[in-house]
Amino acid sequence: MRRTLDGVLKEAAEVERRLGELDPEAFVDRIEARDRLLDLRAEIGRLREGSDAEGPTDRLLAQLESLRRERKRLRKQRIDVVKQGVETRIYQQVEAGLGIADVDEQIERIESILDHRGVQAN
């Protein structure tokens, strides 16, 4: 059965949530969750690669809004980590695991597609 983009995005969000809830000392569990998240992000990229450019504008706008909400949630999660006072090395690992850069990249790609179509994305 072919997996849908929405299904993979939901699974990735669940893995990210579990990763954020794991004890900082649970190194093996954190590594396994992070590895699963990396696999899911790769699958998300493959699924999006074939669909974004041909997708309807209204779907791209909805996806863009969803990604912007996700970016806001991830940034709040990042701020919460900073407030907890974790050491720099762990913070950098958490930052990479959150996937903010991936979300930003996806937002930029969709904005570029919409701009090419002459659509203003607020």
Residue 13 has pLDDT above 80, yes or no: yes
Higher pLDDT, 61 or 80: 61
pLDDT of residue 14: 92
8 Cβ contact partners less than 8 Å away, ≥ 6 residues apart: 40, 43, 44, 47
The answer to whether residues 78 and 104 touch, using CB atoms and an 8 Å cutoff, is: no
Q: Which domain holds residue 35?
A: 5-116
117 Cβ contact partners less than 8 Å away, ≥ 6 residues apart: 57
Structural domain includes residue 122: no
Residue 10 has pLDDT above 70, yes or no: yes
- Total domains, the chain: 1
Structural domain includes residue 66: yes
Structural domain includes residue 121: no
Residue 64 has pLDDT above 60, yes or no: yes
Structural domain includes residue 26: yes
Residue 93 has pLDDT above 70, yes or no: no
Residues 22-52 pLDDT 10s: 888 888 998 999 899 888 988 888 777 665 5
Confidence of residue 86 (pLDDT cuts 50, 70, 90): low
The answer to whether residues 70 and 78 touch, using CB atoms and an 8 Å cutoff, is: no
